[in-house]
Amino acid sequence: MTFENLPANLRELALDDPVLRADAVDLFVTHADRESGCVMLLLLDEGHRVESPVVIGEMGRPTAEQLGLVVDRVVAELRPPALLVALGRGGSPLFTDGDRECHQVLVDGCRDVGVELLATYVVTPGAVRELPDHLRIAS
């Protein structure tokens, strides 16, 4: 499946399936956002269904400091039941230390404000990759 053949009822489906989740991320993070750098927050309900995408664009390569501000100012204010985050950036699809730092800020920040972080992705012009879940700390 790709974002081009997603089910018409995407907003009614739980994004618990990793393939469906990655395809949804591919849909919501445009090529232009990948090139200019962005953070995409996909706000989810209690059943992990899409409520609304929020894209903060033209930020270059997202940094841990920027993600801290996003959590403090956006996630803490909106407090969705669950969240999926994509870091859009140019360059290699391989994970960088900066990607891992951003992911850890998201894990810690979402836990602090009581929002379930379903997954974090790195999205480049050529790939959509989920950061490994082992970066989470058991509560």
The residue type at 90: G
Residue 1 lies in a domain: no
Its domain, for residue 125, covers 10-132
What average pLDDT does range 70-97 have in this prediction? 95
Residue 2 lies in a domain: no
- CATH number of 26's domain: 3.40.140.10
Structure tokens at 132: 């490994």
Q: Would the pLDDT of 1 be above 70? A: no
What average pLDDT does range 10-14 have in this prediction? 89
Residue pLDDT, tens place only, 24-65: 999 999 999 999 999 999 999 999 999 999 999 999 999 999
Q: What is the pTM of this model?
A: 0.90
Structure tokens at 5: 């053949």
Residue 137 lies in a domain: no
Residue 96 lies in a domain: yes
Residue 124 lies in a domain: yes
Residue 39 lies in a domain: yes
Residue 139 lies in a domain: no
The total number of structural domains in the chain stands at 1
- Compute the mean pLDDT over every residue in the chain, rounded to the nearest whole number: 91
Categorize the per-residue pLDDT at 134 as very low, low, confident or very high, splitting at 50, 70 and 90. low
Q: Would you state the pLDDT for residue 139?
A: 47
Residue 3 lies in a domain: no
Beta-strand (E) ranges in the chain? 38-44, 50-57, 82-88, 116-124, 127-130
